[in-house]
Each structure stands twice: as C-alpha cells, then as structure tokens.
C-alpha cells in the first residue's frame, strides 16, 4: 500500500553553491505544464494501491510556483487518488516567495505543514551559504505563515559552513529559541562532489570547521534544542511532541511511497527506483506514456533487512534488538538500549555513516 506521495518541483531562482538536488534555473519554465506532467506520470501508476497518509512537495523550490496553480493541481489530483486519509501535506518554501495572501490560499487548499528553507539565522551565514534572502525575509515569512494559520512549521538550517564559529552557532540557537517553529531540520554542510562547494573543497579553497568543532556543534545543537522542548528524533531532525514529519517517517520505517517528477525516488514492493535526473528525458518519457524510471534496485531477503536497519537506525525509535542480536564489540559507545530496541546515541548519530558501515561489516562477517 502506498502511504506517501512525493512531488519534485525542480525549479529554482538560482543555484546554491552547496546544493546537490536536481534544481534548474529556468525563469521561462511553464510551471502549470510541469504540474500536469506530474499528474500524467501518476496515471502510469494506477495499478498501485494507495492508502495515502502524506503528500510532500519538495524541490528545487516548490514555492516558485504560484499557489493558484496548486489549487488546480489538487483538484485534479483528487480525481486520481483518494485524499481522504491524508493527514499531512507539506510544502517546501523559500523565505522570499510567498505573501500572506499566498499562504492563506495554500492553507485553504489543505496544506498543513510548511518547511521553510531558512538555512541560517545569521546574515554572515546566509552570505557564506550563497543564499539570496536575508534574516529579515526569514522572520517575515515565518510570521506570514503563522498569521495565515499554519501551526506546523519546519525550518531547515545548516551548520558547519566556512567561517562559522561555535559562538556564532550559539547566537543562532539563542534566536531560534524565540521562533514559532514546531520542527527543525539541522543539516551538516557537506561539500558534495558535483557542487560549487565540492569543487572548491577539492582544490583546498573551502575551509570547513575541524571535526572536533563539528562534534561540539552537533552536541550543542542537540542539547539546546532539547532544552527548548524538541525531541531529537532523527539524525538531523528535531520536533516538538506530535510534530515529527509524518512523510519522512515513512522513509525511515520502510513504508511504501511514490515519488513523481524528475529525479524523484520511490520505494514500492521492495524496489527502490529513481526517475531520470534530466528534465528533458523525464518530459519525453512521460509524454510518450512511459515511466521515466532510470535507476532501480530490488531489495530481497537479507538485503532488505540490512536496508531496513540502515534507515531505521537514523531514528530515535531505532531497531528491534532481535534484528542485530548484540551490539558488535567496539561499537558499544555509539548505541543505547531502550526496552527491546537498540538505537544510536548522539555520538553514534554524528558518526552514523562510519558506525553503520562497521555494524554491517560485523553482521556480515562469517562466523
């Protein structure tokens, strides 16, 4: 049963230097036509069974699309799938895009969760990250969303960028404490290969904080957000009680979801598959009635179990002890036990990639 629908809106007004998502700067793009393509792609999956709980519009910059187009989109979407069980409809927004009236219309359309791409609450941070908006834009946008009636608001923030000091992060967290947000996604800046930052980093032209500083920053973020009442429920995500992102939890609990749009990923019947990252190829395929899938992997038997352990250990729920047996020697310091479950502690979450690789090595090692 497909529980979640993800729509990828690939358009952006500029390309951020750290971004490795599919994002296309195309001022002349016809957003209405692209939304129609998404629905046409959905028609190719009519053989699936849907029991939808969440819808997520991510990007790119979904807020580059006028809300009036979403009104038409949702009306047509409701003719394809039953939306009556949907509890969460999220929209990723950039702070500079929507007015109060826009947010009001989005609320009327049924959106009930806004995820605002704030990235930094310091002007220095926004500049270092190459963002176009200022701190004031973020605060105004938050205020507008709240005044329009949104009571479930996430902000995305980035730490560990060039020039960020521990004290700067402290100031940012002080400011965060007064904001009307129910969820915070706090990501470590990663200089991915195919990005401007990645290339600068390779050439030694981007200086990121040392590992010990990053570790102290992660610790500080966790402690301060917990003091503010947030639960650290996933490696990079914090929520007030009851405001965990339902849609993302589908990813981390191996539930089925369908991703539509260029570069979108899906997980259905044990198969992970991804669409073409080329907007041109995506468009051609959908227009000719073919699924635009470019990559796929069938998870079977133990692979499926290991994949489950991989994603579930990202969360505070962790995994059933019986799936791992004992925590392998040398990894004890990264785990904690709650009832019949293992989960990563904060240190384990910080070093999750390394810990999971070592865990898999140990589980896979022949006796």
Which pair of tokens denotes residue 256?
């089925």
191 is a site residue for ligand SF4 (CB under 6 A): no
* Unique residue bearing structure tokens 């785990």: 335
Kindly tell me which of 19 and 138 has the beta carbon lying closer to ligand SF4. 19
Residue nearest to ligand SF4 (CB): 19
E strand or H helix at 257, and its extent? strand 256-260
16 is a site residue for ligand SF4 (CB under 6 A): yes
Kindly tell me which of 26 and 71 has the beta carbon lying closer to ligand SF4. 26
- Beta strands 293-298; 2-9: pairing state: unpaired
12 is a site residue for ligand SF4 (CB under 6 A): yes
Out of 2, 9, 38, 59, name the contact with ligand SF4 by CB under 6 A.
59
What is the C-alpha to C-alpha distance for residues 153 and 64, in angstroms, rounded to an integer?
18
125 is a site residue for ligand SF4 (CB under 6 A): no
Which pair of tokens denotes residue 261?
């749009």
What x/- string results for residues 99 through 118 when contact with ligand SF4 is judged by CB under 6 A?
------------------x-
19 is a site residue for ligand SF4 (CB under 6 A): yes
58 is a site residue for ligand SF4 (CB under 6 A): no
Which pair of tokens denotes residue 258?
């369908």
- Please count the residues of this chain forming the interface with ligand SF4, following the rule CB under 6 A: 11
Kindly tell me which of 35 and 324 has the beta carbon lying closer to ligand SF4. 35
Per CB under 6 A, the segment of 18-26, 95-103, 171-179, 320-328 that binds ligand SF4 is 18-26
- Beta strands 237-239; 231-234: pairing state: antiparallel
Which pair of tokens denotes residue 215?
């570790």
User: Residue 59 Cβ, how far from ligand SF4 at the closest point, in Å?
Assistant: 5
Strand partners, 11: 24
Out of 23, 195, 236, 266, name the contact with ligand SF4 by CB under 6 A.
23
User: Residue 202 Cβ, how far from ligand SF4 at the closest point, in Å?
Assistant: 20
User: Residue 26 Cβ, how far from ligand SF4 at the closest point, in Å?
Assistant: 12
Q: Is the peptide bond before 60 cis (omega within 30 degrees of 0)?
A: yes
Edge to edge, the sheet with strand 341-344 lists 319-320, 341-344, 335-338
277 is a site residue for ligand SF4 (CB under 6 A): no
Phi, psi (5° rounding) for residue 321?
-55, -40
Q: How many C-beta atoms surround the C-beta of residue 351 within 10 A?
A: 16
Q: Is 20 left (phi over 0), alpha (psi -120 to 50) or beta?
A: alpha
Kindly tell me which of 62 and 318 has the beta carbon lying closer to ligand SF4. 62
* Unique residue bearing structure tokens 């990264």: 334
Contact residues for ligand SF4 (CB under 6 A)? Answer: 12, 15-16, 19, 21, 23, 59-61, 94, 117
């Amino acid at each position: 049963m497909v529980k979640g629908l993800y729509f990828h809106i690939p358009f952006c007004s500029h390309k951020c230097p750290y971004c490795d998502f599919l994002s296309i700067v195309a001022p002349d793009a016809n957003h209405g036509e692209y939304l129609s393509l998404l629905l046409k792609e959905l028609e190719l999956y009519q053989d699936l069974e849907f029991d939808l709980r969440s819808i997520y519009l991510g990007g790119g910059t979904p807020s580059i699309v006028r809300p009036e187009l979403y009104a038409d989109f949702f009306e047509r979407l409701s003719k394809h799938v039953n939306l009556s069980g949907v509890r969460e409809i999220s929209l990723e927004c950039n702070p500079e895009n929507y007015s109060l009236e826009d947010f009001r219309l989005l609320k009327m359309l049924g959106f009930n969760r806004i995820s605002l791409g704030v990235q930094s609450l310091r002007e220095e941070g926004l500049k270092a990250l190459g963002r176009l908006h200022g701190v004031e834009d973020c605060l105004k946008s938050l205020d507008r969303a709240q005044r329009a009636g949104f009571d479930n608001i996430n902000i995305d923030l980035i730490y560990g960028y060039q020039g960020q000091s521990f004290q700067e992060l402290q100031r940012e967290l002080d400011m965060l404490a007064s904001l009307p947000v129910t969820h915070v996604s706090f990501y470590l800046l990663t200089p991915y290969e195919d990005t401007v930052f990645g290339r600068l980093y390779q050439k030694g032209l981007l200086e990121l904080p040392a590992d010990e500083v990053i570790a102290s920053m992660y610790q500080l973020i966790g402690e301060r957000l917990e003091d503010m009442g947030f639960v650290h429920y996933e490696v990079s995500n914090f929520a007030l009680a009851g405001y965990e992102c339902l849609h993302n939890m589908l990813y981390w609990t191996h539930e089925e979801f369908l991703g539509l749009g260029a570069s979108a990923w899906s997980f259905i019947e044990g198969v992970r598959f991804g669409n073409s990252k080329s907007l041109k190829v995506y468009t051609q395929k959908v227009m000719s009635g073919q699924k635009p899938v470019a990559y796929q992997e069938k998870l079977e038997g133990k692979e499926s179990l290991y994949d489950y352990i991989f994603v579930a250990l990202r969360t505070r729920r962790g995994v059933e002890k019986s799936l791992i047996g004992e925590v392998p020697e040398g990894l004890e310091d990264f785990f904690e036990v709650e009832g019949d479950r293992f989960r990563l502690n904060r240190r384990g979450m910080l070093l999750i990639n390394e810990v999971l690789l070592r865990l898999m090595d140990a589980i896979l090692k022949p006796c």
